[in-house]
Structure 1
Amino acid sequence: MAEAMDIDPPSSSNFPKIQINLSTRDTTLSIPLQPLRIPTNLKRYGLSTLVNHLLETSKPIPFDFLIDGKYLRTSIDEYLTQAGLSSEKPLDVEYVRSQLPPTYIGSFEQDDWISSVNISSPSPSSTILTGSFNGTAQITSLSGEVLARTVPMHTQSVKSTTWITHPGQSSEASFLTAGLDRTINLWSYTPSQEPLSSHPLQISPSTSYISHKSTITSLSYSPSTSQFISSSSDHTIALWSTNSSLLPTVTAPQSTAFTRKRRRTTTKPPSTIKKGPLAVLTSHTAPVSQVIHSTDPTAAYSVSWDKSIITHDLVTSQPVSTRTTQHPLLSITTLPTLSLLAAGSAARHITLHDPRESSRTVQTAVLRGHTNGVVSLVKSPENEYIFASGSHDGSVRIWDVRSVSSTSSTDGGDDGEGKSGGSLFVIKRESGSGKVFGVDWSRDVGLVSVGEDKKIQVNRGEGMADVTVMDQS
Structure 2
Amino acid sequence: MSEPTPAATTASPADKVSINLYTRNPAHAIPQSTYLIPADWRRFQLSELINKVLHTTSGESAESAAPTPFDFIIDGELLRTTLDNWVKSRKNGDFESVINVEYIQSLLPPKQLESFPQDDWVSAVSIQRPGYILMSSYLSHAKVIPMTQAGASATENASITMNLPSTLGATCCSWLSPATQNENILVGAGGVDRQAHIFRIPSPLDMSASSPPPQEIMTLHLHTGPISSITASRDYEHVLTSSWDGLLGLFSLPTPTKPLEESHDISADPKSYLPGQNSKKKRKLAGAAGGDSQLGGWRKQPDMVMRGHTARIGGAIWDKEDRNKVWSAAWDGSVRGWDADLGFNSVLKQGPSDKAALCIDQMTGSGTLATGHMDRTVCLWDTREATSLISLTMQTASPVPSLRAHPTSPYTLATGTYAGTLQIWDVRSPRQALFSVQRQQKEGKGERVLGVDWDGEVLVAGGEDGEVSVWSARGE
TM range (shorter): 0.7 to 0.9
Among 134, 137, 148, which residue is 2:139 paired with?
Answer: 134
Q: 2:297 aligns with which of 272, 281, 300?
A: 272
Task: From 184, 187, 198, give the equivalent of 2:196.
Answer: 184
Q: CA deviation at 1:246?
A: 8.6
Conservation of the 8 A alpha-carbon contact between 1:333 and 1:378: yes
Structure 2 CA distance for aligned equivalents of residues 194 and 254 of structure 1: 37
**Residue in 2 that maps onto 1:335:** 363
Determine if contact 1:148/1:200 at 8 Å carries over to the other structure: no
Query: What is residue 29 of structure 1 aligned with on the other side?
Result: 28
Equivalent position of 1:450 in the other structure: 462
Give the direction of change, closer, same or farther, for the CA distance of 1:355–1:456 in structure 2 (3 Å limit): same
Retained in 1: the 8 A contact 2:335–2:348?
A: yes
Identify the residue that residue 229 of structure 1 maps to in structure 2.
Answer: 240
**Counterparts of 1:245 and 1:190, CA distance in 2:** 16
Q: Please, what TM-score do these two structures have when normalized by structure 1?
A: 0.86
What amino acid is the match of 2:51? N
Structure 2 alignment gaps of length 5 or more: 148-152, 284-293
Instruction: Give the superposition deviation at 1:102.
Output: 0.4
Give 1:48-447 correspondences, 5 Å limit: 48-56=47-55, 58-83=65-90, 84-122=92-130, 126-142=131-147, 143-146=153-156, 147-165=159-177, 169-191=181-203, 193=205, 196=208, 202-224=213-235, 226-243=237-254, 249-252=264-267, 254-256=269-271, 259-262=274-277, 270-295=295-320, 296-326=322-352, 327-356=355-384, 358-371=385-398, 373-381=399-407, 383-404=409-430, 421-432=431-442, 433-443=446-456, 446-447=458-459
Cα distance between partner residues in 1 of 2:409 and 2:102:
16
Q: CA, structure 1 residues 274+14, in 2 after alignment: closer, same or farther (shift >3 Å)?
A: closer
How big is each residue's C-alpha offset from its partner over 1:181-240, in whole Å with a ceiling of 9 and x where there is no partner? Answer: 1222211223365674x7897322112221112211101211325111100111110011
Equivalent-residue separation in structure 2 for 1:19 and 1:331 (angstroms): 42
Q: 1:207 to 1:194 in 2, by over 3 A?
A: closer
Aligned residues: 438
Partners of 2:249 and 2:402 in 1: CA distance: 21
Q: Deviations over 1:137-187 (max 9, x none)?
A: 111122232321114524421111110225663233221111111222211
Residues 21 and 344 (structure 1), Cα distance of their counterparts in 2 relative to 1, 3 Å cut: same
* Distance apart, 1:463 and its partner CA: 6.7
Residue by residue, what CA displacement relative to the aligned partner does 1:309-367 show, whole Å, maximum 9, x if unpaired?
111111110001111112111111111322311111111111111123x3433111211
Does the 8 A contact of 2:164 with 2:170 survive in 1?
no
Amino acid at match of 2:223: H
Identity of matched residues, %: 27
Aligned mates of 1:201, 1:29 — CA distance in 2? 52
Distance of 2:101 and 2:182 partners within structure 1? 48
Change (3 A) 1:37 1:152: closer
185-194 or 31-40, which deviates more? 185-194
Distance 1:140 1:387 in 2: 24
Contact 1:167-1:191 within 8 A present in 2 as well: no
2:8 to 8, 11, 14: 11
How big is the alpha-carbon RMSD for the aligned residues of Structure 1 and Structure 2? 2.6
Work out the CA distance in 2 between the residues paired with 1:300 and 1:328: 19
Contact kept? 1:289, 1:331, Cα under 8 Å: yes
Which amino acid letter does the alignment assign opposite residue 448 of structure 1?
V
C-alpha separation in 2, matches of 1:448 and 1:22: 35
Q: Distance in 2 between matches of 1:313 and 1:10?
A: 57
Farther off after superposition, 268-277 or 173-182: 268-277
Distance 1:463 1:385 in 2: 9
User: Partner of 1:337: helix, strand, or coil?
Assistant: coil
Q: Give the partner amino acid of 1:275.
A: K
Question: How far 1:434 sits from its partner (Å)?
Answer: 1.9
Deviations 1:52-89 (A, max 9, x none): 11111632111000011110001111111111142221
Secondary structure, aligned partner of 1:7:
coil
Amino acid in the other structure paired with 1:329 = A
| CA shift in 2, pair 1:174/1:245, >3 Å | closer
Give the distance between the partners of 2:233 and 2:54, measured in 1 at CA. Answer: 41
Pick closer, same or farther for the CA change 1:26–1:322 going to 2, 3 Å. same
> Normalized against structure 2, the TM-score is what?
0.85
CA contact (8 A) 1:120 1:166 kept: no
SS at match of 2:53: helix
Whole-angstrom distance in 1 between the partners of 2:96 and 2:297: 74
Q: 1:192 and 1:362 mapped to 2: Cα distance? A: 43
Separation in 2, partners of 1:390, 1:200: 35
Distance 2:31 2:360 in 1: 37
Deviations 1:35-68 (A, max 9, x none): 1112111110100010011111632111000011
1:185 is matched by which residue type in structure 2? H
Q: Supply the distance in 2 between the matched residues of 1:428 and 1:255 (Cα, whole angstroms).
A: 44
* In 1, Cα distance between equivalents of 2:475 and 2:296: 46
Q: Is the 8 A contact 2:317 2:328 kept in 1?
A: yes
